[in-house]
Structure formats: structure tokens, C-alpha cells
Amino acid sequence: MARSSFELAGVHVAPGTRAQIDVPIAKLYTHAPLHIPVEVVHGRQPGPVLLVCSAIHGDEINGVEIVRRLLRASALRRLRGTLIAVPVVNVFGFVQHTRYLPDRRDLNRCFPGIETGSLGSRVAALFREQIVDLATHIIDLHTGAIHRTNLPQIRAQLGSSSETARMADAFGAPVILNAELREGSLRAYAQNRGVPVLTYEAGEALRFDEWSIAPGVRGILRVMRTLAMLPTSRQRAISRPAEIANGSSWARATGDGILRPRVRLGARVAKGQLLGLVADPFGNAEGEVIANADGIVIGMSNLPLVNEGEALFHVARFDAIEEAENAVESFQQDYEPTLETM
């Protein structure tokens, strides 16, 4: 029996073909229509329906490039199942270089959404109904916020399903953060419906970072192979498995001033260690930012100008800290930035 076509937003995609679909979402003030761009790759053989989406926060653009490269992968010619690729979910924010929607709402706090609600709620409802509810598995691509950068990492609720844990392990990021669900997020909505979801966090908003992009592409392809959507690869295996963090916390500025970091992203730190110094422009008053736990720096501020209480260094805690440090070092060696995939 021949496999049926895949339908999205009223468009039918035949087995063994791919199609770009513009899903209507809203209109601008000028009455010009606005669309969410989607590409569907529908394999000849049955399998999972994987949604890979990016830019739910409009300024988090690393994922846009990850999706572009993923769609160029030659392995997709032998795809089993269906890939739904959405490079830009929050089109409003993407065009305006901002994290938010025009009503200043965070789209990733609006799910499942309501068709008659606020703009954020309406966009979430449309994206959910037209795209998300078709997926059996989801990978959601993110970066740090503006002026903050993240070490490549997977965030997932590992205890929710063995499938989620299997996907997280297959991705190959150096760190897996066993993160609780946040109300209103895409991950919370899908996970509560029994759909396994990974959130890949890497890099900084409004910046392309090859050290984040290349691992993201390879990680998605690894997950697809684990799900039997793609044939197994002869490429060498991950040099060292990811370590699971059992928690994380932010070290914050103790005063206002100019930050001088004393550690780098991915560094191993000890409780009580100096992470940075905050001083006024003359250096008369100088405050210390101290690590509040042993761990690995998985996120940090890139903006030297800070206010008291501002989150500066994100430290993840591990039961096996040496193994975590080795995993980060192996990852850094494996993914020296190159131009070969650009």
C-alpha cells in the first residue's frame, strides 16, 4: 500500500518530495500579509514526524542557520518519516531584531494559546494547531538572550520519558541540563501531551557562532539516526558522552560598574572562586563576583556594563565534575570552528 501524502496548512506533500509552505499568521499595519515559512520533507517510508523550529525568540538567529544547513544535508534523500523545518517562528521579532512580539509578549510563554486572545496567544495557537500538533518529536533551537552567551547544551525533562532521554543522549552536546518545564513554553505544552522535546541552547542572540551552529546540525542528524529516520552513519562516534547537570544557578553582580571576567565559558569553577570583578570607571570601588557552587560555566554575560543584582555567570552543578569538565574539553576539541559547513 502506497504511503499517503502529508498535509500541512492545506498543502499536500507527496511521499519522496519536499515543499516550502507559507503559513499565514497575521497582517502588518499596511495590510501586507505575514507568514511563517515552513519546509516539509516527506520520506517515501513511514517513520516519526520531527519538528525542528527556531527563532521562537525573534533575535535568536543561530537556529535559522542550523535549519538552513539541515535542509541541505544529502542524508535527507533517504529520509524515513517526515521532517517539518521552521527556521523562523516569531516572524515579527525576527524582522525587528527583537526577542518579543509587538505587544512585548514572550511567545515562548504563550502556549497553548487562544485564537481570540492577545497577539502572542493567537500566534501560539496558530503555530500549535497548524504545525506543532502534527509532530511526534520536537527539537526547539535557542540561544542566550541579548548580550549573553550559552555553552552548547541540551535542556530537557529527562524523567518525563525514556524517548526524551534517548534523544538528549544522542544529540551529543557536552552538557545536558535536566530542566523543569516552564509554564507557557512550547516544551511544556508538547511534553505534557507526551511528545518528547529537546531544547538546544547555544551562542548569543543576534550573532552567528560556528561553534554553536555546526554541533547543532550534527546533533539533529544524530537524533534523526537514533529515531531511525536516517541510515546509520560511518562517521566517528561522539568522543565523550554528555554529562547531566543536577541543577544550576546564576552568580550575580554585587554592585554597579564595569565587569572584568576572570573565567571563560565552559570553565570548571569551585565554590568560592572569583568569577569576575565589578568596579567603577576609576577603579576606586571594586566588588567580587563569587561562584556559589562547584560546577561548569554554561552561560555568561558579554556586556561589561552591569547593575547590582544582574545575572552574570550561569554555573551548572554535576555529581561527577571531572567527567563534566572532560566532556566540555572534548567537545571544544571536536568542534573547532571551520568554514567547511558554511
- Burial of residue 163 (CB within 10 Å: 0-12, 13-18, 19+) is middle
Pick the more confident residue, 219 or 26: 219
Cβ within 8 Å of residue 320, ≥6 positions away: 243
Q: Which of 29-33, 83-87, 247-251 has the highest mean pLDDT?
A: 83-87
Strands 175-178 and 286-290: unpaired
Model confidence pLDDT, tens digit, residues 221-249: 999 999 999 998 766 555 556 778 988 99
Mean pLDDT score of the chain = 92
Question: Is the separation of the CB atoms in 124 and 118 below 8 Å?
Answer: no
Check residue 334 and give its pLDDT.
72
DSSP string, 287-337: EEEE-SSSEEEEEEE--SEE-TT-EEEEEEE-SSHHHHHHHHHHHHHHT--
Spatial separation of the C-alpha atoms in residues 324 and 328, rounded to whole Å: 6
Pick the more confident residue, 233 or 154: 154
The arithmetic mean of pLDDT across residues 151-173, rounded, is 92
The arithmetic mean of pLDDT across residues 256-276, rounded, is 96
Check residue 340 and give its pLDDT.
45
Pick the more confident residue, 181 or 283: 181
Domain 247-317 fold is: OB fold (Dihydrolipoamide Acetyltransferase, E2P) (2.40.50)
First CA to last CA distance, the chain: 40
Place of cell 496548512: 9
CATH for 6-226, among 3.40.630.10, 3.30.565.10, 3.20.20.100, 3.90.700.10?
Answer: 3.40.630.10
Banded model confidence at residue 330, pLDDT cuts 50, 70, 90: confident
Check residue 329 and give its pLDDT.
81
Place of cell 555546526: 214
Banded model confidence at residue 339, pLDDT cuts 50, 70, 90: very low
**Angle 210-226/62-72 helices, nearest 10 degrees?**
50
Domain regions of the chain by residue span: 6-226, 247-317
Banded model confidence at residue 130, pLDDT cuts 50, 70, 90: very high
321 has pLDDT over 90 = no
Cβ within 8 Å of residue 310, ≥6 positions away: 252, 253, 301
Check residue 240 and give its pLDDT.
59
Strands 80-86 and 45-54: parallel
Spatial separation of the C-alpha atoms in residues 193 and 157, rounded to whole Å: 13
Cβ within 8 Å of residue 287, ≥6 positions away: 253, 254, 255, 257, 277, 278, 279
Which segments of the chain does DSSP mark as H helices, in order?
62-72, 91-96, 119-130, 162-171, 186-192, 210-226, 321-334
